[in-house]
Amino acid sequence: MEFEEPKDGDGSLRASYRHSINMDPNRKKLPSEVTNDWRLWFQNPKFYVFGFVYMGVRLYCNVLATLINFYLIYVLEIVTEEELAQKVPVQVALIPLLLFLSSVTASTQLDAIY
């Protein structure tokens, strides 16, 4: 192995020792030096738990946002068929908007807590 001068210009023994250790390819890396490879995610069980919870929440929110209008119109009968044929009533648009805004507000408050 050939000796190389340290880059920082310090000719002391300590600097050259530190430089030679950092250049050793067989040296074990400290946990702070290890870079996470994306393939290592698949070995972590928390990755799958997080993925399933995330997909479940997204599915629930999308189905709720889609079906809430049908529930308001056909089950609760907030508007009549004649009113619905002319224009979309404010209630049908306001209730999903309030649900969305309340979820955004709750998310910001939870972010502040955690």
What's the pLDDT score for residue 51?
A: 93
Along the 114 residues of the chain, how does pLDDT read in single tens digits? Answer: 555 555 555 555 555 555 555 566 666 766 666 666 788 889 899 999 999 999 998 999 889 888 998 898 889 888 888 888 888 788 888 888 898 899 889 888 887 776
User: What pLDDT was estimated at residue 37?
Assistant: 79
Q: Is residue 10 part of a domain?
A: no
Q: Which two tokens stand for residue 76?
A: 């609760």
Q: How far is CA 93 from CA 3, 42, 48, 99, in A?
A: 74, 42, 36, 10
Per-residue confidence (pLDDT) for residue 39, from 0 to 100:
85
Instruction: Determine, yes or no, domain membership for 69.
Output: yes
pLDDT at 48: 94
Residue 31 forms part of a structural domain: no
- Residue 67 domain boundaries: 44-113
* Model pLDDT, residue 45: 92
Question: Which pLDDT score is estimated for 85?
Answer: 83
Residue type for position 53: V
The pLDDT value given to residue 9: 53
Give me the number of domains the chain comprises. Answer: 1
Q: Is residue 28 part of a domain?
A: no
Place of tokens 């907030």: 78
Whether 9 maps to a domain, the answer reads no
pLDDT at 49: 93
